[in-house]
Amino acid sequence: MMRLSILASFSLLLGGCGLWVDVLAPEEPGLDAALADVGEIDVGQFDVGQFDVGQFDVGQFDAGQFDVGAHDGGTRDAGTDAGLDAGNCTSSEDCFALNTVCMVGACVSNACVRVPASDDLVCDDGDACTARDVCASGVCIGELDCSTFDSACSAGICSAGGCMSMPTTEACDDTDVCSWSDACGASAPGMCGGVTTDCGVRTGISPRGPTEVIGRVRMGSAFSDPCPRGQVMVGVQASVSTGFYAGVLRQFSTICGEVLVDLAGVLTIGPGATIPAIGHGSWPHGGRLETASCGRHEVVVGFSGAEGISGDRIGLPDVYLTQLRLRCAPLSATGSIATGFTAVVGAVSDSAPRPTIGASMTRPFGPTDCPAGSVAIGSVGRAGDILDAYGLLCGRVELSLVTTAPPAGSLSSRTVFRDDCPWGSLPVGIRAGVSMPAGLYNRNVTHFQTLCAPLNVGPNGPGMWSVTLGTPSAASTPAWGAAPVIDGSREERQCRPGEVVVGYEGAGDIAVTRVVLHCASITATGPATLVIGPATSSLPFGLRTDRPLGPLYTCPPGMLGRGFYGTANEVVNSLALRCARPWFAAP
């Protein structure tokens, strides 16, 4: 039998009376029957200052109330408490269970409490719209940051707990020199786009002079047959005589091809003119017509051939051209819209038979080539009854990206014109006709021509350069717009000396009624480096003021006016400024 030795004392104060109840339970060996806990009920004495009333130790802390006033029996509960009663930590490590994102458990006066973590401690607030989250006074706080969703035409915003892009509509720059009036949303929501009227790579030629002329240089009449603007020489055509001048070349013509470059920089040679159509050296006797042409995407860069000694055939002490052999080279382009384009002349290929007309007679000559980097742009020589002497006109191919501003007026007319200044010239004004108020066309612009002035850049002392502009002349003949000026006037507007056109305003509906040109000065810091000043003067033209002027369009940075684009029928229906990088090349 085990002796019952558990004493529990309850005090029930009812009307000042006390009721004492003794309860006995089996005693476990090794425990103080008077003071020790048995893991379930505090026994041995009651806690001073607060009764344990129906509360048991639950393995961590006394549930409901901590024991206060005195320790249980002077020691920790020796039962199943696996944790700590309050007031029983020795270091902060004992309080790790209280740690949160920006709060940490700390031991303060032997009690575990939560305190704020260090400020600026990196944390995660769980919000996808914030970044750089850090603790501040115990709270994880991040900065609202949806900048990764920003673009030229959208702003990052926080919506429904996440970042998203919101399209905007402000002005922008799509970095495409072909487009004007760039704005967000102009082409598609969230995209930067503008208005493209007419944009392309235009070809110009910087003359490099003729080659040596081979043959009878004192016979016949001199001729010079340059290819049309933007074309180069790709072949020749001639008759080989029979009869009196047997074997001699006559009825000679130059075959040209148009240089075409797309915006990707791919260069091709398209069909061009044949000059002159009937040929030089019109001896009427019979012969066979022969043609010699360069290969695909090749151009003429030189020639060789042979002469026949006339004494061997007709007893005269002279020589005649009996054979021409062309030297051809590939022509390509490098560059981009952003950097500009450059024409590149490749090497002459000797691997394939050279295009030839006629037959070698007695004495070969040549080769005679254009200067390095140049191509043939036409023929020069002398001719009478036959082709007496021959040489090449040479020049360097210049490529320029030309962009066109939005036009004033109406594009309804099908006749489109590009009135650009030739290579080496810049627009300095316009020549146009305006119908009178009572006239048939009621103050509309009836004729239009671009006035171009040759540009000259030369040294002006050590390290100094001067810019001069020559006498202006019309870029095109006749003027655009077919209506006769019978009830109006023809007028000119020119920039001040030393200035060129860099901007344009226009007004119109079905036809152009008013034009305002803006001009700027140019200076040079090198043989091919121009500095463009701000627009300082304007040139109004036209009589109608009932329609407001459109926006002012100025050439993009680094560009100058190149000419004008428009449509015309009886009157000028629309008009726009065309811009390009300075239209000249280094010597």
On the question of pLDDT at 37 being above 60, the answer is no
Q: Which of 55, 70, 85 is the last residue of a domain?
A: 85
Examine the domain organization and report whether 222 and 161 are in the same domain. no
pLDDT bin (cut points 50, 70, 90) of residue 84 is very low
Domain boundary among 400, 417, 434: 400
**What span, in angstroms and rounded, lies between the C-alpha atoms of 328 and 305?**
14
Range of weakest confidence among 50-64, 197-211, 284-298, 521-535:
50-64
Q: Is the pLDDT of residue 365 over 80?
A: yes
* Residue 355 within any structural domain of the chain: yes
Q: Do the domain assignments include residue 318? A: yes
Is the per-residue pLDDT at 419 higher than 60? yes
Q: Is the pLDDT at 489 greater than 80, yes or no?
A: no
The answer to the question of residue 175 being in a domain is yes
Distance CA 116, CA 411 (A): 72
pLDDT bucket at 328, cuts 50 / 70 / 90: very high
Domain-embedded: residue 118: no
Band the pLDDT of 502: cuts 50, 70, 90.
very high
Q: Is the pLDDT of residue 61 over 50?
A: no
- Domain region containing 489: 405-580
CA–CA distances in Å: residue 351 to residues 307, 326, 338, 348, 360: 24, 14, 37, 9, 20
Residues 505 and 552: beta-carbon distance below 8 Å: yes
Maximum CA pair distance of the chain?
168
155 and 242 co-located in one domain: no
Write the CATH number for 384.
2.100.10.30
CA distance 469 to 86: 97
Residue from 84, 87, 50, 91 nearest 67 by CA: 50
Categorize the per-residue pLDDT at 26 as very low, low, confident or very high, splitting at 50, 70 and 90.
very low
∠338-344-350 over CA atoms, to 5°? 155
Q: Give residue 28's pLDDT.
A: 41
231 and 332 share one domain:
yes
C-alpha 52/C-alpha 72 separation (Å) is 11
The answer to whether residue 94 is domain-embedded is no
Residue 276 confidence (pLDDT) above 80: yes
For residues 45 and 4, what is the distance between their CA atoms, to the nearest angstrom?
Answer: 17
Residue 345 has what pLDDT? 96
**Whether residue 291 sits in one domain with residue 163:** no
One domain for residues 48 and 165: no
| Dist CA 128 CA 144 (whole Å) | 9
Residue 236 sits in the same domain as residue 310: yes
Based on the fold, state whether residues 172 and 318 are members of the same structural domain.
no
Measuring CA to CA, how many Å separate 428 from each of 34, 343, 535? Answer: 119, 27, 13
Are residues 229 and 187 part of one domain?
no
pLDDT of residue 487: 60
Q: Count of CB atoms within 10 A of residue 279's CB?
A: 21
User: Which of 44, 59, 85 represents a domain boundary (last residue)?
Assistant: 85
Residue 359 and residue 248 in one domain? yes
Q: What is the chain's alpha carbon radius of gyration, rounded to the nearest angstrom?
A: 48
Determine which of 39-43, 311-315, 478-482 has the lowest per-residue pLDDT on average: 39-43
| Co-location of 171 and 297 in the same domain | no
Residue 134 belongs to some domain of the structure:
no
User: ω before 551 within 30° of 0 (cis)?
Assistant: no
Exposure of 508 by Cβ count < 10 A (0-12 exposed, 13-18 middle, 19+ buried)?
buried
**Residues whose CB falls within 8 Å of the CB of residue 74, separated by 6 or more in sequence, listed in order:** none
The mean pLDDT of the chain is 78
First to last CA, the chain: 127
Position 58 scores a pLDDT of 38
Is 117 contained in some domain? no
Q: What is the pLDDT of residue 88?
A: 80
Total count of domains within the chain: 4
* Tens-place pLDDT, residues 91-122: 888 898 899 889 999 999 889 999 999 898 99
Q: Is residue 126 part of a domain?
A: no
Is residue 503 domain-shared with residue 469, that is, in the same domain?
yes
Among the residue ranges 150-159, 302-311, 414-423, 498-507, the one predicted with the least confidence is: 302-311
Phi, psi of 312 (to 5 degrees): -70, -20
Whether residues 504 and 391 fall in one domain: no
pLDDT-based confidence at 286, cuts 50/70/90?
Answer: low
